[in-house]
Amino acid sequence: MAENEFFRLWVYLSASPLLGLTATLIAYQSAYALYRYAGNNPLLNPVAISVLFLIALLMLTDTPYTEYFEGAQFVHFLLGPATVALAVPLYKQLNKLRTLWLPLVTALLVGVAFAGLSAVGIAMALGASKATLLSLAPKSVTAPIAMGVAEKIGGLPSLTAALVVITGIVGAVIGTKVFDLMRIKDDSIRGFSLGLTSHGIGTARAFQQSEEMGAFSGLAMALSAFTTAIILPWLLSLLCIID
């Protein structure tokens, strides 16, 4: 008898993480197949498509996000080791990094300040609330850092996480178009700019283009994470946007 109940409990507990996880993997693989089928059309960004599909599914089945995340967290967890793994492509680009360090550092500092302040400035001009402004400021850095910065300056960390993902998708969708229009062909420049602006989602897109572009995007993502955490709160208080 007791064994039977134990079994039922086990089934009950394992069922919900299993569904969230399976749905995530199926949604992503279908979205990825669609993306490949359409000749890697950036408009069909696999992250965007799978997110839209999963939101629709959760709303239709009346499932709260926290319940979905029970299962999806196993995928989410891999972001940590994947970030560490970026050291490998970076190491392979080491020679190029050595040659380009001065241009990269300059672009990093200017780019990080610009990415944060331009979002705040535009939203301010359009009358966004202060909580929204401050949640927007760290939009270009990878989610865990952006959430930390948002908390520090008085934004809403979970809103920031959402804005970070949208920024990543926007960059991944239009990035290559922008570089093509500017006639920038160098994969190190394309990768670095995409990673600085659109963090990991941009980096994922960059790796689909070339290993070099991916490595520079990963580098920019890591460096801008540091730099933003240090200079963005300082810049915002300098401009009297936060106390």
Partner 1 sequence: MGLLSGITLLLIYQLVGEVLVFFTGLSIPGPVVGMLLLLATLIIRGHVSESLNATANSLLSHLSLLFVPAGVGVMVHFQRIEAEWLPMGVALLLSTVLSLAFTAFILSVMIRLTGKRSAPDGGE
Q: Which of residues 19-48 bind partner 1 (CB under 8 A)?
A: 24-25, 27-28, 32, 45-48
Q: Is 204 helix (H, G, I), strand (E, B) or coil?
A: helix
User: Cβ neighbours of residue 238 under 8 Å, at least 6 residues apart?
Assistant: none
Q: What is the 3-state secondary structure (H, E, C) of 206-242?
A: HHHHCHHHHHHHHHHHHHHHHHHHHHHHHHHHHCCCC
Burial class (CB in 10 A: 0-12, 13-18, 19+), 62: exposed
Residue among 59 and 240 whose Cβ is closer to partner 1: 59
**79-118 positions binding partner 1, by CB under 8 A:** 79-92, 94-96, 99-100, 102-104, 106-107, 110-111, 114-115, 118
Are the C-beta atoms of residues 112 and 224 closer than 8 Å to each other?
A: yes
Of 179, 206, 183, 181, the C-alpha closest to 195 is: 206
**2-21 positions binding partner 1, by CB under 8 A:** none
The residue within the footprint of partner 1, chosen from 138, 150, 155, 200 (CB under 8 A), is: 200
Kindly state the smallest distance separating residue 238's Cβ from partner 1, in Å. Answer: 18
User: Cβ neighbours of residue 206 under 8 Å, at least 6 residues apart?
Assistant: 190, 191, 194, 195, 213, 214, 216, 217, 218
Residue among 131 and 238 whose Cβ is closer to partner 1: 131
Kindly state the smallest distance separating residue 100's Cβ from partner 1, in Å. Answer: 6
Q: Which structure tokens are listed for 114?
A: 């610009």
Q: Which stretch binds partner 1 (CB under 8 A): 5-13, 36-44, 156-164, 234-242?
A: 156-164
Examine residue 175 and tell whether it contacts partner 1 (CB under 8 A).
Answer: yes
Kindly state the smallest distance separating residue 38's Cβ from partner 1, in Å. Answer: 15
Q: What is the DSSP letter of 42?
A: G
Residue among 15 and 52 whose Cβ is closer to partner 1: 52
Q: Which stretch binds partner 1 (CB under 8 A): 3-11, 36-44, 77-85, 235-243?
A: 77-85
Examine residue 167 and tell whether it contacts partner 1 (CB under 8 A).
Answer: yes
Examine residue 225 and tell whether it contacts partner 1 (CB under 8 A).
Answer: yes
The residue within the footprint of partner 1, chosen from 134, 150, 153, 189 (CB under 8 A), is: 189
Q: What is the DSSP letter of 21?
A: H
